[in-house]
Amino acid sequence: MYQNLKAFLSSLDKAGELKTITETVSPFIEISRITDRESKRPGGGKALLFQNVQGSSFPVATNIFGSDKRICMALGVTHLDQLGARVREYIDFHPPGNWKEALNVIPMAVNLANFFPRMFRGKTPPCQEIVLKGDQADLSRIPVLQCWPKDAGPFVTLPLVFTRSLLTGKRNCGMYRLQVFDKQTTGMHWHIHKDGSHYFTEYRDAGKRMPVAVAIGADPATIYAATAPMPRGIDEMLLAGFIRKKPVRMTKCVTIDMEVPAEAEFVLEGYVDPHERRREGPFGDHTGYYSLADDYPVFHITAITHRKNPVYNATLVGPPPMEDCYLAKATERLFLPMIQSVMPEIRDYWFPWEGVFHNIVIVSLEKEFPGHAQKLMSGLWGSGQMSFCKAVVVVDKEVNPQDTHAVFSKFLTHFDMASDLTFTKGILDVLDHSSPFPNFGSKIGIDLTTRFKDEPPRGKPSDLPEPPDNQTVMDIVRSRVKGAVACRAFDMDPPGHSELINRILFISVEKTAAIGGKEISESIPEPDILPGFTIFILFDREIELKNHSLMLWKLFNNVAPDRDIRINRQRMVIDACRKGKMDGHEREWPDELRFDL
């Protein structure tokens, strides 16, 4: 495994996975624009190393995790499921029944002990080859990127933020963006549901200043560990050691009582005052939208330390696919065995990129009894990070949840909107903008599993006639549907001899102050006017109705299930447009990320 970031970059270079850019580039938008273009190339493009950054003597590395090959290289595997297999070895461990079994367990126990972080024993840790305190600690020397045009300023986007519980002393390492306010202060953007925020609450309640350390640039397993949704109280450095098969070497900070990875490129040391807040954001986020400005704690820097020749490591997030998609994919595969240990009926699951990893999950279920799919939904909505998931789709164990065609086929040939939907309410990710309420809203479960004898039967599907020709459909939609601009049928042949019981029509519409989603939905014609279609999905007029990935992204991001899904007489209308007061949505709707304003 890699000792540090530079060792990983060297390995990427030897593997032909690193593109070095020698021209002078600006950290204001330009590096982001180049990174976005590269990450959208087939397969995720290359990792990028910008050697000459305007206004700084430090190079910048981006997109280092942004492909299947690079994320596997980063985590020391040839396939991400190998990480899950290693986790499963520990989960499947049972107390030994005899001496032979006990002897077989010893090597495993010894290896586990070797994963715990250790203290650096050398004279000077690499991350403290240069120590800057007081006025010398100047963030303007570091090439922090402004990523998107409407960002409130430059943001540190790949920070490893170290905190410690005031009550238990347990360490947490999370990844929380830092908006640079000035040379020695930043925002501290920890969401209300995150462990860093929980520990901050402990200090706030005690009226004590909270020490915080931020490492930037480390070995790739340690960087990844900061993004992983570990249970509270479990040290992310232990996970990093598990992935590396080697402990992370830590070192004491110079101005606060905190440890950081000794091989980090940069370290920011400081504190957060429990009673100080400042307006932070907006910021171009991984949802593909700007997260809105709000008040967050302020991080005051007491020291900046770094290697003699450090590399500043940043990431760009935005409309998928981007680098964070590959980090999230690693989490998906790594944590599958942990979820299966609690819910062994789960065969596999998949988080589509278009759902930005908190809007939808597709789960294959080894169904055993009536209501099993609904039990699974409830269990997932009550489990850790899965509780943020807005939509859960359940399929039978024979269906590969990562096979988009297979899942859509099941939907088109089996889905009964009268019996297969479960609606509930609960917590939502802070970045969910579709709900009328921040952090809370509606959720939907879709049961596509085979019915058991004692379950309510699906309604007997009526014969689905062939729809009229395209021109006739277009004429009907424009004449009958309020605000309609264009439409297109979703064409997909069912597998084998299965018959369609659902057919989808995409409609682009233009809302006005007087015409919202409700009015448009109610104007969808009766079945005898537009035969052959059962599901209608509304999109804003600028959305290209042939770009399925873009449409899924809008569908998963823009829909609050209880408000935006309407069912009448076996017809469903889904409003995937942006929302406003015409829809009863009083919250500010965020702008979509674009470089061309």
Q: Which residues belong to the active site? A: 285
Alpha-carbon span 348 to 362, nearest angstrom: 9
**At a CB cut-off of 8 Å and minimum separation 6, what does 497 contact?**
none
Half-sphere exposure of 566 (CA within 13 A, CB side): 17
Bridge-based pairing state of the strands 535-540 and 571-575: parallel
Could you tell me if 286 and 318 are in contact, meaning their C-beta atoms sit under 8 angstroms apart?
yes
Q: Round to whole Å and give the CA distance between 27 and 155.
A: 11
Q: Are 352 and 552 in contact (CB under 8 A)?
A: yes
DSSP 43-71: GG--EEEES-BTT-SS-EEE-TT-SHHHH
Q: Check if the beta carbon of residue 318 is closer than 8 Å to that of residue 64.
A: no
In whole angstroms, what is the distance from residue 421 CA to residue 411 CA? Answer: 12
* Angstrom distance (rounded) from CA 400 to CA 254: 52
What's the CA gap between 249 and 263, in Å, rounded? 7
Helices (H), 45-156: 68-75, 81-91, 99-113
Rounded to the nearest angstrom, the gap between the alpha carbon of residue 93 and the centroid of all alpha carbons in its chain is 31
Contact assessment for residue 524 and residue 573, using Cβ atoms and an 8 Å cutoff: yes
- Residue 320, preceding peptide bond in cis (omega within 30° of 0): no
Strands (E), 435-533: 440-447, 484-489, 504-509
